[in-house]
Structure 1
Amino acid sequence: MQYASHSVIGMRQTNEDTEINVSIQIFDYKLVILAVFDGHAGNEASIFAKENFINVFTDQFMKLKNVPTALNNTFIQLDTDFCKISKVAGTTAAVCVYDLTTNQVFTAHAGDSRVLLKTDVLVQTSDHKPLLFSERQRLEKCGAFVIEVCGVGRVNGALAVSRAIGDSDFKQFGVTGKPEVQIFDNSRPKWILVACDGLFDVFSSEDVDLIVEHLLLQAELPTGLQQIFNKTKFFGQPKGQIATPAGICAVLTEMALQKGSTDNVSVVIFINSDVDNFTQMKAQSLSMSEIRDSQGNFVVQIAIMLLILGVQLMFMLVFKKKESKTLILSGMVVGISLVMHFKLKLQQARKAIKELETKVKRLVSERME
């Protein structure tokens, strides 16, 4: 079990995003909590949400022992409390709670920050945008008007999201802090990712899936994504290397900037231990493939050497000249040199495999603690 986060300021003057990635235990429940809060009109709301989320959620869960209700109540309480101290600032929120005890995953979000859940398929939350039909209906019933400005739907021509914590002045027009909550039973996720719109403005959820799979399992990338990936400082990752959660987050944020994102970009990821084990097997498979290649090359070289010696022996038998004896002796020297060279290469490959296996076992052991 492992998780990490990374955030970059991008082209903005300040970073208005905050993130959470923690594991907590309440009673007999062990929970992993991932969250991204993407503030607007300053970072006041996103900082407030980060500083208070865990405490409020813990209190709610201890009372109710029900994650979905606790999440819903936490969002509403944070929204109510923040609106008492600020009229302008607001923040979107995307939260995922993974219950390690029951293998259930719960998501709650308000706004356009997004949760991706990878099992055998990719699942994503839906962004709360003013132009979304169901969201627009609620806003207009509350007296708001929604217009499109440069391709972006805005509430009363201003706010670009239809749900948020804060934004007190927009509450009367239907902008709510009430989250959309989803439950995924027995999901056993391979990984979970939470990110702000700074990432998803330039990459689709499917693109992000491909990048994560590439970093975890060396899966192939389409040409366009590979070209962007090559521009990142992580280009040249050795075969079989295990990508860390921190490394994956850093790659995604850097690639978003390379793709042209001008917003703050924040990513949180959780990697399940099963994926660690699969990555270990993948690394070993790749390395064993390299050993087989080395062994194959070794056999080919021996065959070539024997062929050369056979031809030289024929010369010696046919012509019975001293020059032929000299030729075969030189051939034997070359052959022995080739054998020693490839034997050394094979030993080096085997040594590298042992070192890789030791490193993988140590990393997996550390991450599962």
Structure 2
Amino acid sequence: MGQGLPKAVTSVAVKRVGGTAFRVGFAEMNGWRPSMEDAHVIYAQDTWGFFGVFDGHGGDQCSGFIARRIHEELAQSGMPDDDEAVIALALRLDKEFLDSNQPSGSTGTFVIVKAPTTPGGNYHLRVGNIGDSRVLLGRADGSIYPGPGTDSGLTTDHKPDLPSERQRIERTGGNVQEVMGVARVNGDLAVSRAFGDAQHKTTGGPKPEDHPVCAAPELMEFECGPTDFLMLVCDGISEGSFPNEAVVRLAAEKLKAEGPVDPAQAAIAVCHEAIKCGSKDNLSCMVVLLGGGEVPGEGVEFVPGPFEAPENAAFRKAYAAMAEHAGMSLPQALEKQGAYFR
């Protein structure tokens, strides 16, 4: 994955959500890529919540479609009851997208959180993963909960050379090839589970799980305490020299800063650090605090980065697109940028 822009777009689109049971901060940054292909879901209710990050590839059509449809399904039908319901929902939405004949694909990682029924009780986590974004669980002291997944995460990256994934890929008519040191499905896709990616779902079957690439989530359950916090990060956060333990430690430091606790500031800091650590991908980070209340700051905010390549059309377009994610036009963003760096 090479640099798509002459300079990284380091502006951040921020979202903050407070409520009865959760406080959420979300930050997304375009980075070096020509366009932003990530999407997300924050669906916080009084006793439960659904939080997800969807990392698109080959365009933003799939990630945006899946995020929108999940939100609609949650609003209509409420929390899925069990693993079978979650899997059925993911596969049904994948079929909807495939039937729309749109290009692109998307990974997805999410957590369904149930608040405790008694004060001070534990939170129940149903963690789902499709692809290589990650869910991390942090503790108030800055340590990471030693999860069973990749790099102590709660999720395992679905890479084509993971033995269990390779077995399915080859059993269903696909193959795993190494291209420039990266294992790829059919020499193309660097993840083995994803929404969309129709070209990798033509062999195998008849079940949707029985294709070289499938959208069936891997699901696990955990319990955690009210002082713990969740992080959902796209693979852009992880692709440089920024291990999960360091991600959690940085977020915890920002959560301990003086003044009202703002999970969005922790998410912003993680995106900026990932760029410093060498990431060349889009960046998304969500921090979920367990326990209700208000989140200080604007509900939607644009934090401008330097406008360093104004003569480059691709840079201008990417800069404008990030501003639009926060509800601002390019002229408004540049006005704020000028004031921000004055």
Q: Tell me which amino acid in the other structure corresponds to 2:168.
A: R
Residue in 2 that maps onto 1:253: 271
**Are the equivalent residues in 2 in contact too, given 1:61–1:67 (CA < 8 A)?**
no
Summarize the alignment of residues 195-214 of structure 1 with structure 2, pairs less than 5 Å apart.
Answer: 195-202=233-240, 203-214=242-253
Q: Tell me which amino acid in the other structure corresponds to 1:104.
A: H
Change (3 A) 1:274 1:18: closer
* TM-score of the aligned structures, taking structure 1 as reference length: 0.63
Q: Give the distance between the partners of 2:86 and 2:227, measured in 1 at CA.
A: 20
2:145 counterpart of 1:121? yes
2:193 counterpart of 1:163? yes
**Are the equivalent residues in 2 in contact too, given 1:87–1:167 (CA < 8 A)?**
no
**Are the equivalent residues in 2 in contact too, given 1:193–1:270 (CA < 8 A)?**
yes
What is the CA distance between 1:55 and its match in structure 2?
2.2
Q: Give the distance between the partners of 1:113 and 1:271, measured in 2 at CA.
A: 19
- Of 244-253 and 71-80, deviating more is 71-80
Residue 31 of structure 2 aligns to a residue whose secondary structure is coil
Q: Give the distance between the partners of 1:147 and 1:44, measured in 2 at CA.
A: 26
Residue 267 of structure 1 aligns to a residue whose secondary structure is strand
Q: Give the distance between the partners of 1:170 and 1:19, measured in 2 at CA.
A: 24
Residue in 2 that maps onto 1:68: 83
Residue 107 of structure 2 aligns to a residue whose secondary structure is strand
What is the CA distance between 1:151 and its match in structure 2?
2.1
Residue 181 of structure 1 aligns to a residue whose secondary structure is strand
Residue of structure 1 aligned with 2:124, choices 97, 100, 104:
104
Residue in 2 that maps onto 1:153: 183
Give the unaligned 5+ runs of structure 2.
1-21, 118-122, 148-152, 204-210, 295-342
Q: Tell me which protein shows more helix as a share of its residues.
A: 1
Q: Tell me which amino acid in the other structure corresponds to 1:117.
A: L
- Percent identity reads 31
Summarize the alignment of residues 1-369 of structure 1 with structure 2, pairs less than 5 Å apart.
Answer: 1-24=22-45, 30-59=47-76, 61=78, 66-86=81-101, 88-101=103-116, 103-119=123-139, 121-123=145-147, 124=153, 125-171=155-201, 172=203, 173-185=211-223, 187-188=225-226, 190-202=228-240, 203-217=242-256, 240-273=258-291
Deviations 1:207-245 (A, max 9, x none): 11211222223xxxxxxxxxxxxxxxxxxxxx6345511
The answer to which structure, 1 or 2, has the higher relative contact order (CA under 8 A, 6+ apart) is: 2
**Are the equivalent residues in 2 in contact too, given 1:190–1:275 (CA < 8 A)?**
no
Q: Tell me which amino acid in the other structure corresponds to 1:83.
A: L
Residue 185 of structure 1 aligns to a residue whose secondary structure is strand
Deviations 1:105-163 (A, max 9, x none): 11111000111123582432111010111101110111111111122110011011100
Q: Tell me which protein shows more strand as a share of its residues.
A: 2
Q: Tell me which amino acid in the other structure corresponds to 2:251.
A: V
Deviations 1:77-108 (A, max 9, x none): 11111010135311000011111145211111
Residue 214 of structure 1 aligns to a residue whose secondary structure is helix
**Are the equivalent residues in 2 in contact too, given 1:192–1:269 (CA < 8 A)?**
yes
Deviations 1:157-176 (A, max 9, x none): 10111000111111124200
Instruction: Give the superposed CA RMSD.
Output: 2.3
Q: Give the distance between the partners of 1:127 and 1:180, measured in 2 at CA.
A: 10
Give the unaligned 5+ runs of structure 1.
218-238, 277-369
Q: Give the distance between the partners of 2:198 and 2:74, measured in 1 at CA.
A: 22
Q: Give the distance between the partners of 2:224 and 2:62, measured in 1 at CA.
A: 34
**Are the equivalent residues in 2 in contact too, given 1:21–1:33 (CA < 8 A)?**
yes
Aligned residues between the structures: 249
Change (3 A) 1:70 1:60: farther
**Are the equivalent residues in 2 in contact too, given 1:129–1:153 (CA < 8 A)?**
yes
Q: Give the distance between the partners of 1:152 and 1:9, measured in 2 at CA.
A: 23
**Are the equivalent residues in 1 in contact too, given 2:185–2:212 (CA < 8 A)?**
no
